[in-house]
Amino acid sequence: MLDFSQNPTLFDPLTLPNGQVIPNRIAKAAMEENMADRRHLPGADLLGLYRQWGEGGAGMIMTGNVMVAADAVTGPGGVILDARQPLDPFRAWAEAGKAHGARMWMQINHPGRQVYVATNPEAIAPSAVPVEIAGYSKLFTKPRAMTEADIARVIGQFAETAALAEKAGFDGVQIHAAHGYLLSQFLSPLTNQREDRWGGSLENRARILIEIVRATRARVSPGFGVGVKLNSADFQKGGFEAADAVAVVQLLNGEAVDLVEISGGSYESPAMQGRPASASTRAREAYFVDFARDIVTVAQMPIMVTGGIRRLATADDALAPEDGRAGVAMVGIAQAMAYAPDLPKQWRRAERVVDVPVVRWKSKPLAGLATMALAKLQLQRMGKGRAPTFSAWAPGVVIRDQIRTRLRNRQYRNWLSQRAER
């Protein structure tokens, strides 16, 4: 059990179980950028973006999704790292984020069934359960159930990408097992209907995650960080629940895991986008903190919480004990740092509240898409050396984003086809 006899502040260092020291308790949490170059490598735009975040004062910088499999991506323009990709662009990426002392970790991921038909008409999943979003289900590829060979391949792909990340100079990797992606699909009984050793009981459903952690740790050095991003819950009836998250962390206690980040939701139930506007201001911020406090009580590794934090007071509260429960060890800031990349540096001086634009259209899926498109616009601006803007017109940004996505989809399919021919 972790020692909580001293209450840390946001700007105290954090020593992870493997001895790695994070300069402070603020992480730039992962956001999907879709800003890779045409070879799905980190190019000039991503380096420009991460230089800004590197200068912003966060103790840890977590990359957006890096795909472990070239033929399985969450969207076009995603970064892919496998043995066929050159490492020099990744070395430059790590250097950009670490230039001012932050630790740079790579989030590694496989989308499973959360693949758009326009991106790739083929997808794998624990079971052949398609994505169901009213009015939008046809946009997603219908997956096939994974074979034993598929599972073994994916375990190896995660470990391979982690080993390559270390060679490129990253300080750690975060294995993405949240937000409805492949490992989250294995954990949820809604999407995992298998009757073999990879399905049924929670221990079986968590088996692939545990095997990936072990395979990853076997490929990297002891000082390299290995973390897991985990849902507090799926927020779907019959899905992965808070008690399941506690049980998975207890399973992870027996592995060499250095940090667990708590989030929640999936494409079907995007809780990671925040609580409704009717909730109180405090409830809308740090909306996974209560779940995280319950997990802290059983965790033998530091717990980080991400979700909606945009003010110093909320971040401080997350680290502080409450109702007899300890606070978390770190806070992750995502969308607020799309609009204020130097927010941690500003917080060292005084409170700064970031009013992140949220679109409130009647169609919740479309509103969520627009909110994400606005955030991605800021990342693109920063990649070009420009400042974020709060005044972008949401409909225009969505149209622009859709046009860009169609172009990137076509480029990705061509790249994947040419890669298969080599």
**Triad 190, 175, 139: Cα angle to 5°:** 50
Q: Which residue has the tokens 């790579």?
A: 106
Whether the pLDDT of residue 267 is over 70: the answer is no
Confidence band for 291, pLDDT divided at 50, 70 and 90: confident
- Residues of 3-32 as b/e, b for ≥16 C-beta within 10 angstroms? eeeeebebeeebebebebebbbbbbbbbbb
pLDDT value at residue 269: 55
Residues whose CB falls within 8 Å of the CB of residue 61, separated by 6 or more in sequence, listed in order:
27, 28, 50, 53, 54, 97, 98, 102, 103, 104, 105
Main-chain phi, psi angles of 229, to 5 degrees: -100, 125
Which range of 208-217, 291-300, 412-421 scores highest in mean pLDDT? It is 208-217
pLDDT value at residue 365: 84
What is the domain-level CATH number for residue 246?
3.20.20.70
Range in 3-7, 84-88, 376-380, 393-397 the model is least confident about: 3-7
Confidence band for 2, pLDDT divided at 50, 70 and 90: very low
Q: Count up the domains in the chain and report the number.
A: 1
Tell me how far the alpha carbon of residue 288 is from its chain's centroid.
15
pLDDT value at residue 133: 85
**Residues 74, 111: Cα–Cα separation, whole Å:** 6
Mean pLDDT score, 164-176: 98
- Assess if residue 60 is contained within a domain: yes
pLDDT in tens, 53-97: 999 999 999 999 999 999 999 988 999 999 999 999 999 999 999
- Assess if residue 23 is contained within a domain: yes
- Assess if residue 402 is contained within a domain: no
Mean pLDDT score, 197-220: 98
**Residues 262, 252: Cα–Cα separation, whole Å:** 13
- Assess if residue 320 is contained within a domain: yes
pLDDT value at residue 234: 72
Structural domain for 98, as ranges: 14-357
pLDDT in tens, 319-360: 999 888 899 999 999 999 999 999 999 999 999 999 999 999
Mean pLDDT score, 183-210: 97
- Assess if residue 198 is contained within a domain: yes
- Assess if residue 363 is contained within a domain: no
- Assess if residue 362 is contained within a domain: no
pTM, 2 dp: 0.94
**Residues 45, 358: Cα–Cα separation, whole Å:** 25
pLDDT value at residue 285: 54
pLDDT in tens, 152-161: 999 999 999 9
pLDDT in tens, 39-57: 999 999 999 999 999 999 9
Q: Return mean pLDDT, the chain.
A: 92
Whether the pLDDT of residue 278 is over 60: the answer is no
The region, left, alpha or beta by phi > 0 then psi within -120 to 50, assigned to residue 321 is beta
Query: What percent of the chain stands above pLDDT 90?
Result: 82
- Assess if residue 162 is contained within a domain: yes
